[in-house]
Each structure stands twice: as C-alpha cells, then as structure tokens.
Amino acid sequence: MSKKPKKTGLSAFYFILLFPVFFASCIGFSSQLKINNDGSGTIKQEYRISNLLQSMGKTDGNENSLPIPIGKEDLERTVERIPGLSLASYSQRQDDKDLIISAEFTFATPEALAAFMDNDNQQMKMDVKNKMIRLHLPAGEDGEESFKAMMLSAFQSYDFSFSITVPGQAKTVWLDENGKSIQKYPGTCSVRNSTVDYTAPMGDLVFLEAPLTLEISW
C-alpha cells in the first residue's frame, strides 16, 4: 500500500477519513474560517484526539508522537512551503478525555488558503471573484449495521464542525454526487447572515454512503 502525503488544515480531516473506522471515530475537528473581501483572512482550528488513540501513537517509543500530522513542527513546515500563509498561534492542552490541539493562521490570498486547506485541490474549491466556495465530503467506509451502531454509540461525542464567515450574505446549497440539489444530509447546517455553521458526528461522516458537496455563495 503506497503512502499518502501528509496533510494539514482541513485536508487533515480528509486524512482522518482515510484512517480505519476506529481511529477516525476517536478524533474531533472544528474550524472557524473568516474570509475578507480581498480574499485574505484567518482560520482557527481545533483537534480533539482521544487519550486512547494518543497512547497508541506512542507504541513505537516516541513519546511526542501524534497519530495525525498536526504537531507544531508539521504546521511550521506547511507555512514555510505556502507563500502568504502564517502561523499566528499554536497550543496543546490535556483534559481527562482528550489531547486538544488549537492553531490559528492568517492567509494573504485565496490561493494560500486553498493550498493550506486542500493539498490535492480536490476537496475544496474557492472562487472569491465569483463569490463561491465548494467543500466536498467524500464517501466513507462500508460496514455491517451492527458494527456501525457500535462505533457510533461508542464515539458519539466526537464531532466534525466548521464555521465560515464570508464577506456578504451567505447562501448554501447541498449537492449529491451528480450535482443535484438535495435537502437531506448528515448533521446540521445553518446560516446566520454572513456565517455558515455546520456540525456532524464524526461517525456519520466516516460512514457516509455517497459523496456530498456543500456550496456556499454570497
């Protein structure tokens, strides 16, 4: 099996979805993105990694090992290779359940944001000139219903969520794999003036039956 390139930013979420179901279900992800009129802006991200998964990442004897490439050095390397991207802050903290990693970035151009959020230019499309963003959610894992129910129950506290603020009144439409508008999708999505909020249990996305796309315009 060939190795996939390390990913950061929102594309780290897609990296998570490539994990075996157990691992993906042990991670939560949230992101707050603000885009200005000129395409610059800020993005804040938080990862919650279960203590169990974190301890499994240390089985090779590396006490500083993380199961996904979101350590400070990983993100600093990302900033170095993307013009117009800066790491404004980075922190780690531990509670009784999770390791919580938070990072904030600034980006000077839409190209810098796109390079950060989607290394492969497949999962995110942003066109500031035409006032549109598209986020693609890939199809997830297959599995027996009893296995799905067990995993969803065991790790229901881990979510994938994001908030996107655009420079105008936001509008959303969900599309199926054929580009047809749909009303049913996992999680909840709402619009508050210029801000779009979306939240879904990580397990629902891991088991997503078919790819979906969220189109945001303003």
Query: Dihedral angle at the C-alpha atoms of 119, 123, 129, 131, nearest 10 degrees?
Result: -140
Under DSSP, is residue 46 helix (H, G, I), strand (E, B) or coil? strand
Q: Specify whether the CB–CB gap between 72 and 25 falls below 8 A.
A: no
Q: Within the chain, what is the greatest distance between any pair of CA atoms? A: 51
Q: Round the CA-based radius of gyration of the chain to a whole number and report it.
A: 17
From the list 27, 13, 78, 89, the residue with the least C-alpha distance to 57 is 27
What pLDDT is recorded for position 17? 44
What pLDDT is recorded for position 205? 80
Q: How far apart are CA 30 and CA 49, in angstroms?
A: 12
Q: How far apart are CA 201 and CA 112, in angstroms?
A: 29
What pLDDT is recorded for position 144? 64
Q: How far apart are CA 89 and CA 94, in angstroms?
A: 17
SS3 content of the chain, % helix, strand, coil (to 5): 25, 35, 40
Give residue 67's region: left, alpha or beta (phi > 0; psi -120 to 50).
alpha
Digit-by-digit pLDDT tens for the chain (218 residues) are 444 444 455 455 444 444 444 444 457 888 999 999 989 999 999 988 877 666 655 544 544 555 566 788 888 998 999 999 999 999 999 888 888 999 999 999 988 888 887 655 556 777 877 899 988 888 866 666 666 666 666 556 678 899 999 999 999 999 999 999 999 999 999 999 999 999 998 777 877 889 999 999 99
What pLDDT is recorded for position 102? 94
Q: How far apart are CA 142 and CA 114, in angstroms?
A: 30
Q: How far apart are CA 70 and CA 53, in angstroms?
A: 14
pTM, rounded to two decimals: 0.76
What pLDDT is recorded for position 167? 95
